[in-house]
Structure 1
Amino acid sequence: MLEIKQLHSIKEWKEAFPVIKQLRTHLDEESYLELVKEAMEKENYKMAALFDDETIIAVTGYMPMTTLYNGKFVWVCDLVTDEKHRSKGHGKTLLSYIENWGIKYGFKIISLSSGLQRKDAHRFYMDKMEYDQVSYVFLKKL
């Protein structure tokens, strides 16, 4: 049975790591746990996972934000389905969960960025989830 649960504890974050690692390949478990803890404490970051019985098959991280560009909105930081469970609608299930969460708490915009190389993800966001491509994201390492 599929069920979405919020992840609050270190134990739950550790259970989600093998799936998150498929998206965030640069992270080891220790740095991942430190970042999740800090983001939750300082940025109101939230994690949710889609479970098939007791197994995590997809994970998302998101947070409410306010900027001059978007006003009050929800930023999707992470969205990944375990490679063994892809193309079964699980990403849509989690993204719809975030959209419903946003509506419940009065947000009017959901926003995210996606790596230039992730062409399948772009098709998913635009064709299946009806997101518009409105900008490029730029990054400079200091």
Structure 2
Amino acid sequence: MKQLRTHLDERTYLNLVKEAQEMEGYKMFGLAVQGRIVAVTGFMPMITLYNGRFIWVCDLVTDQKERSKKYGEKLLTYVHEWADNHGFKTVSLSSGLQRVDAHRFYENKMEYHKTSFVYLKKLND
């Protein structure tokens, strides 16, 4: 996860995961190969007027040394199955503009459709 969320130190990361689990129903799953975690996903149920009830994939990362081994595909397929088994018919995510390889993966391999831009504004303290 540190490869994806480089701005977080361990303490902040653990606190955010705990809070997201308790308050938002955030779920985290990993894929291990020979006892070593090679990919991780985090997602949570949400409701919006645009999507209705859906699953939001907050995090999906495969270790840089383990890419192109279908680990991301396996985890995202697991998220799809989890969603379907829990009555959700839509899965959505966002991906940083710079992550061109990830975009190809989502669109070509996983058949996601680009539906919007995500905007961010940081407010003053």
Return the TM-score normalized by structure 2. Answer: 0.97
For 2:94, give the aligned amino acid: S
3-state DSSP class of the match of 1:127? Answer: helix
Task: Note the 1:1-142 alignment, pairs <5 A.
Answer: 20-142=1-123
Distance 2:43 2:34 in 1: 23
Measured after TM superposition, the shift of residue 53 of structure 1 is: 2.6
> Identity over the aligned pairs, expressed in percent?
65
Distance 1:105 1:36 in 2: 21
Q: Which runs of 5+ in 2 are unaligned?
A: none
Distance 2:95 2:8 in 1: 17
Distance 2:48 2:115 in 1: 15
Distance 1:33 1:49 in 2: 15
For 2:31, give the aligned amino acid: L
Q: Which runs of 4+ in 1 moved over 6 A?
A: none
Q: Which runs of 5+ in 1 are unaligned?
A: 1-19
Aligned-residue CA RMSD in angstroms? 0.5
